[in-house]
Amino acid sequence: MKACKDLCPVLKIQRCCFLCDKRETCNEACAEDSNDLCELLVDIPDGNCEQQAEPLLQKLETVMLQKKDLEETEKALKEALKALMEEHKETGLKNNSHMKVSYVAGSSTTVFDTDLFKKTDPATYSKFCVKPKETKAYIKCELLKKGGEKK
């Protein structure tokens, strides 16, 4: 695959303007008349996933950061609402046009520790594991700080 040594100013990936399907409508397209004249044109291996994924990764990072901010705001608003409902001993708010809100009091429950059961009695555990569970393929993404560690 042919690509430029420089990044495309629009897509932010190495891509030769002459091979780009958006060349005719792009305001940033290279002004050269031919691939042969482009001194920055180089061969890069096909399937360069990292490079081709870069614009998607940039957009995904932006969305994930926005989502994180929104989740933090949601958590803070819910905590404030919970405190208000506890103060007024309210169990529900439903006479508003926004949403129905129910106060769920804290509780304690007993859970079954499958890992401990598997470790303690593997034969009995395997008898009860009769159904395979299918898991669909998915993408796991974690935001990183500038130094490469997790945010």
CB contact set of 42 (below 8 Å; sequence gap of 6+): 2, 3, 4, 5
- Domain spans of the chain, in order of start: 1-46, 50-128
Q: pLDDT per residue over 66-118, tens digit each?
A: 999 999 999 999 999 999 999 999 999 888 888 889 999 999 999 999 999 99
Q: pLDDT per residue over 120-146, tens digit each?
A: 999 999 888 888 888 888 888 888 876
pLDDT at 150 over 90: no
Torsion of CA 61, 64, 69, 70, to 10 degrees: 140
pTM of the predicted model as reported, rounded to 2 decimal places: 0.55
Give whichever of 25-29, 47-51, 72-76, 100-104 has the largest mean pLDDT. 72-76
